[in-house]
Amino acid sequence: MSAPSPSLSFSSKELRDLALAWIALGLAFAIFFAGGGQRAVTGILRGGIVGPLLLSLLTAGMGFLLHEVAHKVVAVRFGQVAEFRADYGMLFLAVVSALAGFIFAAPGAVHHRGRLTRREHGLIALAGPATNIVLAVVFLPVFFVGLLVNSEFVALAGSRGLTINLFLATFNMLPFGPLDGKTVLGWSKTAFAAFFVPSVVLTIGAFVVGFGF
């Protein structure tokens, strides 16, 4: 008789880590999109922090957050005990790098334990980038709604959400180091190519068109 699969639940520490990662990334991307350094500080002081921070929390923050939650959901679906753990040092680095005018964000990871097949490992890894693609699709009509109602905030949220999520999907599918793409490629070259190639094309297209800025 097989043991029952773990249910999807979040410990208080995990919820705290997710919240801290979300806020830190929102702050880092708000600073980054404001130009970093003195330019960002001056712009935020003049225009306020609420709008830029909210915009980053809804786009970059949600992109990172739901990416990690997707890994957890699929891992639990395969009988794993899985929890997200924030990397506080990397979150601090994200904010500092944004102040320096560039962004380096690695908020943490979902750690799981239990026996898995190569296919299950691959699907857990693929869940994060796939979620980012879904979010990009969701943000596309948000952009057009913003244009329709003449709301700069809504249009920018849609545009930036689309671009950031496409970039996250593509970057995480690179087949190197601890990135998801290496695990997916180790499971199935076909699945890797079927996901990675369109992601690259869509991301390049979004940047060429000028989404996100």
> pLDDT tens across 27-78, in order?
999 888 887 766 666 666 666 678 889 999 999 999 999 999 999 999 999 9
Let me know whether 110 and 192 are in one domain. Answer: no
Q: Which of these is catalytic: 68, 83, 120, 152?
A: 68
Let me know whether 131 and 45 are in one domain. Answer: no
Which amino acid type is present at position 139?
Answer: F
Q: Which helix (H) or strand (E) holds 82?
A: strand 81-86
Between CA 18 and CA 69 the distance in angstroms is 9
**Residue 4 in domain:** no
Let me know whether 158 and 211 are in one domain. Answer: yes
Between CA 40 and CA 33 the distance in angstroms is 8
Let me know whether 99 and 64 are in one domain. Answer: yes
- HSE at residue 134, side-chain half, CA atoms within 13 A, is 11
**Tokens in use for 20?**
């801290």
**Residue 175 in domain:** yes
**Residue 5 in domain:** no
Let me know whether 202 and 146 are in one domain. Answer: yes
CA distances in angstroms from 128 to 6, 53, 77, 95, 163, listed in the order given: 20, 23, 14, 23, 16
**Residue 89 in domain:** yes
pLDDT above 50: residue 1: no
Please confirm, yes or no, whether 152 is among the known catalytic residues.
Answer: no
Let me know whether 150 and 180 are in one domain. Answer: yes
Q: How many domains does the chain have?
A: 2
**Residue 6 in domain:** no
pLDDT recorded at residue 209: 81
Rg (CA), the chain: 18
**Residue 69 in domain:** yes
Q: Of 84, 115, 146, which residue is a domain's last?
A: 115
**Tokens in use for 198?**
């369109």
Closest CA to 114 of 136, 89, 82, 85: 82
pLDDT in tens, 117-170: 999 999 999 999 999 999 999 999 999 999 999 999 999 999 999 999 999 999
Answer left, alpha or beta for residue 183, where phi above 0 means left and psi between -120 and 50 means alpha.
alpha
Please answer whether residues 159 and 211 qualify as being in contact, where contact means their C-beta atoms are separated by less than 8 angstroms: yes
Q: What is the dihedral of CA 35, 36, 37, 39, to 10 degrees?
A: 20
Domain of 54, in residue numbers: 11-115
Q: Of 115, 144, 166, which residue is a domain's last?
A: 115
Closest CA to 125 of 86, 170, 181, 85: 181
Let me know whether 160 and 92 are in one domain. Answer: no
| This prediction's pTM | 0.89
Let me know how long the chain is: 213
Q: Of 71, 96, 115, which residue is a domain's last?
A: 115
Q: Which SS3 state, helix, strand or coil, does residue 84 take?
A: strand
